[in-house]
Amino acid sequence: MYLADYACRVPITFATMTLTNIQIKETNDNDFKDIMEVETKAFGGPDEAKLTADLLSDPSAEPVLSLLAFHEGEAIGHILFTRAYIDEMENQPMIHILAPLAVKPNYQKQGVGGKLIEAGLEILKERGTELVFVLGHIDYYPRYGFINDAKNLGFPAPYSIPEEVKDAWMIQSLVSDGLKKYRGEIRCADAMNKEEYWRE
């Protein structure tokens, strides 16, 4: 699944050791080169870097949360959360989609992705985000609070997820009643709103 690949390049390779001395910072325009390098190296090609660049310049994705992880001054990981909406809802809650998540190959399996996820969720919660969605590895993201099969909980993805991989579309509520007071199909940012990103 294309978007799932963006979201779970790191999670497929579970941490076997923990890298210490990781610094995580919110990015700005000066970090663009580092972001592109991480995305390109993590995925072995330019496609994910292009999607990331498109999302970072997409007004419909705002407010975004973009974080880089550094080790000894080197940018080694990146995570991006972009704005999403519940279709046809008048008073929109703040919700985000996590994608992509990327870590350079030499630093995978060392907990970098997990640290980025945890830091991102904490910041989003502080800023008032209520729900976070991800299309990714079904065994990894639940370790960080995500619940499989968000459609079954009342939140269909922007495009239909094949039944055999429905658990890959996940949700996490950052507020106590987020799973109870909302329902509806999720609309993503324009740059991500392409059917090929949501198919195998």
What would the two tokens of residue 13 be?
């390779």
pLDDT band (50, 70, 90) for residue 20: confident
Instruction: Look at residue 14 in the predicted model and tell me its pLDDT.
Output: 55
Cβ neighbours for 73, distance < 8 A, ≥ 6 positions apart: none
What would the two tokens of residue 4 be?
């799932």
pLDDT above 70 for 31: yes
Highest CATH level, class, for 2-198:
alpha beta
Rounded mean pLDDT of 64-68?
A: 98
Burial (CB count <10 Å: 0-12, 13-18, 19+), residue 164: exposed
pLDDT above 60 for 134: yes
Q: What's the one-letter identity of residue 193? A: N
Cross-strand pairs, 98: 81, 134
Peptide bond into 63 cis (omega under 30): yes
pLDDT band (50, 70, 90) for residue 200: low
What pTM was estimated for this model as a whole? 0.92
pLDDT band (50, 70, 90) for residue 19: confident
